[in-house]
Structure 1
């Protein structure tokens, strides 16, 4: 996959998850699978590396290409946090063992 960033083209190996954050105002993400939910203060984005929670102010989508897995956000970014999908699968397995 190729990603156009300002005046350069970057080749990204298929499936790699990258985050580019410029001055905490513009964020580019790759390997985005879906956007679970969002508003101006919080985004939950499902990526190849787990669910990413993005907190900030006046967050908005500038560009979204679901087929290529690309997302660009603008606003003031305050924090990022991942929730690994593997840990949620483990919890699901435990509940299945108890009640399934």
Structure 2
């Protein structure tokens, strides 16, 4: 990932995936391709680096820019889990439902 620092701001090279969590209360992400499902306890997001499962409490979308792939969440972030496999977490979810 290439970062260019200019007077208290960073420019992130297009296509790079960056996750920033502030005090476990606010989360910013780049290179978000799709939000596949979400509720107040779980977000399942497809990023340029694979699927990302975010778990927490009172999670909500604060900002979403589909064209730029930017997502900001607020709430109590408890866990982040990446899965490189295109269907890895989905298979686990469906397996839990249908065994």
Smaller-chain TM-score bracket: 0.7 to 0.9
| TM norm structure 2 | 0.77
Partner of residue 21, structure 1: 21
Q: Distance in 1 between matches of 2:42 and 2:86?
A: 22
Partner of residue 58, structure 1: 58
- Runs of 5+ unmatched residues, structure 1: 1-7, 89-100
Deviation digits for residues 2-48 of structure 1 (CA, Å, limit 9, x no counterpart): xxxxxx43200111000000000000000000000000000000000
Partner of residue 10, structure 1: 10
How far 1:87 sits from its partner (Å)? 7.5
Aligned CA-pair RMSD: 1.7
- Runs of 5+ unmatched residues, structure 2: 1-7, 89-99
Runs of 4+ in 1 over 3 A off after TM superposition: 85-88
| TM norm structure 1 | 0.77
How far 1:75 sits from its partner (Å)? 0.1
Q: Distance in 1 between matches of 2:34 and 2:86?
A: 17
